[in-house]
Amino acid sequence: MKLIQLAVFLSLLCSALQAQNALYPTPRNEPKSPETVEETQPDNTAASPKVTEADNIAPIVETELSEAEVIVGQPIRLQIKVLVPTFMPQPPIYPTIELPDLMVRLPDRATTPTSERRDGASLSGTIRTYRLYPLAAGTFEIPEQTLNVTYADPDTNAPITTEIAMPAQSFTATVPAAAQDLDPPVIAAGFTLEQDIQGETDLGVGDAITRVVTARIDGTTPVLIPPLVAAIETPALRAYPKEPRVTSTEERGVLSGSRSETVTYLVQSDGTAELPEIRIEWYDTETQTVQTASVDGVSLTLAPAPPPPPDYGKIALRSGFVLIALGLIGLLLRRMAPKLAAARSHVRARLQATETATARTVRHAIANQDLNATYAALETWSTYAAVLDTSDWIDMKNALVSVGSDTYSDSPTRTNSSWRILAQNFDELRKINRNKYLALKNRQNLPKLNSNLNIPIYLNTPTAEPVER
């Protein structure tokens, strides 16, 4: 039994050694074991040309595109294969691939090891796979570029660095006929829209509402998602948009992602407003038809802002200022009272020292049937009657004489009649005085009001009869 187990163990050990020699061949510069020399000695002459040919193989760089034509937004694979006759102590330095309207991505495990036999020689190396996403229709030319490769010298294992030309490649991106009218062309395996309204739709001035719209795309890059929320130009709302948020994910080599836009609207005035519906047409690569994704519009009712609550602190402060101002005004008036009284008296005197004021005093004395007051008022009024001559005063003089006679008589009826005639004569005298004054003024020959002509006629006329006062 033990012999059988020992035989099985030796058989497994020999198989493991053979597999190791196949995977990791003996380096060319290491001496072979005597057993190997003895086994290969009969064929030494035939093998020498092959070893020499393998030693002269230079590093190889090859490029390959998965297809020559692709739909806009869909990926195409570019593989860059690097082979060397020995091994690479450090990875190759790949050139940068940059073209307008072309997005270049490296998927997970983009670089993998590889080995091949060419011309009887074993070559090892790496394969790097790029995913290219054309963002617009057209022809894309990937120019020839140089690639830095470091590999071990076949004889000494010393590192050798060289530059190798990477062959050029080209492909064409097209838009399907059914998607020719889409602007922009959204071409994907899946596309959805959703929105989130944060806040009430019944708003007052100063309130805010936030709209979040998110688009999700499958099978291509989210860079192809167009802007979602259009600007609103209305005096009732003011928009405050945030920067769009674009995220992408990749699962098993399939790219997808989303674009999210957030806009906050602040109410400026009352009325109504509408957040419009959003509709985006896109081309479905699986059904090869044009689909439509949409979210509903939102109607807003905008009410005037409620009156703010009273600020009792400000009210108290303003009341205090008013009381202080009133106190200062009262103190000022108290100090200025004598000057104000004098000014008031002066103004009143100025107002009373007019023909109209003195005439009103005469009429008042006549109405009260006060003869003494009538004489005094007539004397004052006569200062404004300098244009009158003796003949103008005759009727007034006779009326005064009649009033004087009736005042001291026993007939009250005649007294009332004489006072009425006196009033009429005074009104007539005022008209004469006014007409003469205007006539003289027009001729610019108006005498001074305070000249000697203002002596009452009934006092300086020789025919005047004394009147008892």
Quote the pLDDT of residue 463: 33
Range 130-142 average pLDDT: 93
Mean pLDDT of 4-33: 44
Query: Is 50 exceeded by the pLDDT of residue 8?
Result: no
Taking only the tens place, the pLDDT of each residue in 55-102 is 568 899 999 999 999 999 999 999 999 999 999 999 999 888 999 999
Phi, psi of 83 (to 5 degrees): -125, 140
Contact by Cβ (8 Å): 106, 80: no
- Whether the per-residue pLDDT at 261 is higher than 90: the answer is yes
pLDDT at 44 over 70: no
Q: Which residue has the higher pLDDT, 20 or 281?
A: 281
What average pLDDT does the segment 286-311 reach? 85
CA distance 265 to 269: 12
| 3-state SS record for the chain | CHHHHHHHHHHHHHHHHHHHHHHCCCCCCCCCCHHHHHHHHHHHHHHHHHHHHHHCCCCEEEEEECCCEEECCCCEEEEEEEEECCCCCCCCECCCCCCCCEEEECCCCCEEEEEEEECCEEEEEEEEEEEEEECCCEEEEECCEEEEEEEECCCCCCEEEEEEEECCEEEEEECCHHHCCCCCCCEECEEEEEEEEECCCEEECCCEEEEEEEEEEECCCHHHCCCCCCCCCECCEEEEECCCEEEEEEECCEEEEEEEEEEEEEECCCEEEEECCEEEEEEECCCCEEEEEEECCEEEEEECCCCCCCCHHHHHHHHHHHHHHHHHHHHHHHHHHHHHHHHHHHHHHHHHCCHHHHHHHHHHHHHCCCHHHHHHHHHHHHHHCCCCCHHHHHHHHHHHHHHHHHHCCCCHHHHHHHHHHHHHHHHHHHHHHHHHHHHHHHCCCCCCCCCHHHCCHHHHCCCCCCCCC
Give the CA angle between residues 194, 200, 206 to the nearest 5°: 120
Ranking 152-161, 272-281, 306-315 by mean pLDDT, the lowest is 306-315
Smallest Cα–Cα separation from 75: which of 224, 191, 247?
Answer: 224
Contact 146, 153 (CB under 8 A): no
Is residue 31 over pLDDT 70?
Answer: no
Does the pLDDT of residue 465 top 70, yes or no?
no
pTM above 0.75, yes or no: no
Q: Packing angle between helix 371-381 and helix 355-367, nearest 10 degrees? A: 170
Q: What is the pLDDT of residue 30?
A: 38
Question: 350: pLDDT confidence band, cut at 50, 70 and 90?
Answer: low
Q: In whole numbers, what is the pLDDT of the chain averaged over residues?
A: 80
Going by C-alpha positions, the residue among 34, 13, 14, 17 that lies closest to residue 25 is 17
Give per-residue pLDDT as tens, 214-254. Answer: 999 999 999 999 999 988 878 888 899 999 999 998 888 78
pLDDT > 70: percent of the chain:
79
**Least confident among 45-59, 186-200, 380-394, 415-429:** 45-59
Q: Residues 121-126: what's their mean pLDDT?
A: 91
Better-scored residue on pLDDT, 13 or 300: 300
Q: How confident is the model at residue 295 (pLDDT cuts 50, 70, 90)?
A: very high
pLDDT digits (tens, 9 = 90+) for 151-177: 999 888 899 999 999 999 999 999 999
**What pLDDT is attached to residue 413?**
58
Lowest mean pLDDT, pick from 106-120, 125-139, 452-466: 452-466
> What pLDDT, in 10s, does the model give residues 408-460?
776 655 567 888 888 898 899 889 988 888 888 787 654 554 444 444 444 43
